[in-house]
């Protein structure tokens, strides 16, 4: 640590403790923010992988995308409500036209057997419910057409199906030559003729409904994609800011650390020569990060250890130490075991011509 202008050791300890605590708070803060950013990144990835619409959160109190989603949901509900009102009016007009057909059929002179539910007990039709699965009559249909609750018909095809059922039931239960069968068959034919005139309008309305729903889904998808694209852009900006903040924090910590001695630099230079080709490339990339003019991919690299910043040196030291651990080196090996290093260098040199998989690189530490 840099010297603190105080002759009192206790004050020095307090100052050091305060600095450490400050760095700790900064690390905790950045860790929490990184965790939150990671969750948001995962949400964006899931959206683009599944094209679903998961609920999003973010570090600003779930405000950015969540607000966009709430606004989108509100607009969708309003649009859906308007479409439903318009579609309901169109369907009501179709039902009004169907009601005219229904009145014509029910007012026919042969319609009387079908106006009320079949009186099974009075007529002694003991097997009626065994033959007819769903009884239906004009009176029941009329009540459902006029109902204002959940029992009301929702569209014309439902009414059409029940009217046909009235006649089909009568034809099914009664013999072909029976009067009720003949009456039902005749009225069904008249009803189908009138229905065919209305059917094109019904089909047009159904197609229009399908098109409107498809268009609504498309608008929803486009709006969601826009919201997630906006979030991805915000994430990119925040990640850049985090990276810059970490770089500044790293520089600040390094400035508080002791300067690397000449002996430590020599040990570091020696340790670099013990790295595998892959690890050596990674180490040189660390150097290049703070030295734009440095060419880490050159065939021969001259690395001036003394010219590197303290930040670069300490990053190299940590990296080299961990890399050599993975390679099976002991901490003493970092100081340099010339026999083992020479042997390893020969092994690497021997392996290159055989495999041609890796390009040799000569490192010279000045």
Q: Quick one: tokens of 343?
A: 């042997």
Give the integer Cα–Cα distance in Å for 119 and 97. 31
In which element (H, E) is residue 66 found?
helix 64-106
Q: Work out the pLDDT band at 42, boundaries 50, 70, 90.
A: confident
| SS3 category, 303 | strand
Q: Determine which of 50-64, 257-271, 291-305 has the lowest per-residue pLDDT on average.
A: 50-64
- At 197-211, the pLDDT tens digits run 999 999 999 999 899
More confident residue, 73 or 296: 296
84-216 folds as Histone Acetyltransferase; Chain A (1.20.920)
* pLDDT over 90 at 326, yes or no: no
**For range 320-341, the mean pLDDT:** 63
More confident residue, 254 or 336: 254
Percent of the chain residues past pLDDT 90, beyond the cut: 30
Q: Nearest-5° angle of CA 196, CA 200, CA 202?
A: 100
* CATH 1.20.920.10 residue spans of the chain: 84-216
* pLDDT over 50 at 189, yes or no: yes
- At 137-187, the pLDDT tens digits run 999 999 999 998 888 998 999 999 999 999 999 999 999 999 999 999 999
| SS3 category, 357 | coil
Q: Quick one: tokens of 288?
A: 């290049």
**Total-model pTM:** 0.49
Output the average pLDDT for the chain: 77
Instruction: Provide the pLDDT for residue 9.
Output: 58
Could you tell me the CA-to-CA distances from 157 to 105, 135, 142, 199 in Å, in that order? Answer: 17, 18, 15, 9
């Amino acid at each position: 640590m840099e010297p603190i202008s105080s002759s009192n050791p206790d004050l020095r300890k307090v100052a050091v403790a305060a600095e450490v605590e400050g760095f700790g708070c900064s690390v905790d803060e950045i860790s929490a923010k990184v965790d939150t950013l990671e969750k948001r990144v995962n949400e964006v990835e899931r959206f683009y992988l599944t094209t679903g619409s998961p609920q999003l959160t973010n570090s600003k109190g779930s405000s950015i995308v969540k607000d966009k989603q709430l606004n989108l949901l509100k607009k969708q509900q309003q649009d859906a409500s308007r479409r439903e009102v318009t579609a309901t009016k169109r369907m009501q007009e179709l039902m009004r036209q169907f009601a005219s057909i229904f009145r014509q059929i029910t007012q026919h002179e042969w319609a009387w057997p079908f106006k009320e539910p079949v009186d099974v007990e009075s007529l002694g039709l003991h097997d009626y419910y065994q033959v007819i699965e769903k009884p239906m009559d004009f009176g029941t249909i009329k009540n459902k057409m006029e109902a204002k609750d959940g029992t009301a018909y929702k569209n014309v095809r439902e009414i059409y199906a029940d009217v046909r059922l009235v006649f089909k039931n009568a034809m099914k239960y009664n013999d072909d030559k029976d009067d009720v069968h003949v009456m039902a068959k005749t009225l069904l034919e008249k009803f189908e003729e009138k229905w065919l005139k209305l059917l094109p309008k019904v089909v047009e309305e159904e197609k229009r409904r399908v098109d409107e729903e498809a268009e609504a889904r498309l608008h929803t998808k486009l709006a969601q994609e826009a919201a997630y694209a906006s979030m991805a852009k915000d994430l990119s900006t925040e990640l850049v800011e985090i990276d810059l903040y970490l770089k500044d924090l790293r520089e600040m910590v390094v400035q508080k650390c002791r300067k690397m001695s000449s002996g430590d630099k020599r040990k570091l230079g020696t340790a670099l020569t013990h790295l595998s080709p892959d690890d050596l490339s990674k180490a040189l990339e660390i150097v290049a990060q703070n030295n734009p003019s440095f060419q880490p991919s050159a065939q021969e690299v001259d690395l001036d250890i003394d010219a590197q910043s303290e930040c670069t040196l300490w990053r190299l030291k940590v990296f080299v130490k961990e890399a050599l651990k993975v390679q099976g080196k002991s901490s003493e090996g970092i100081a340099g075991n010339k026999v083992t290093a020479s042997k390893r260098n020969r092994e690497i040199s021997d392996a290159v011509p055989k495999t041609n998989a890796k390009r040799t690189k000569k490192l010279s530490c000045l």
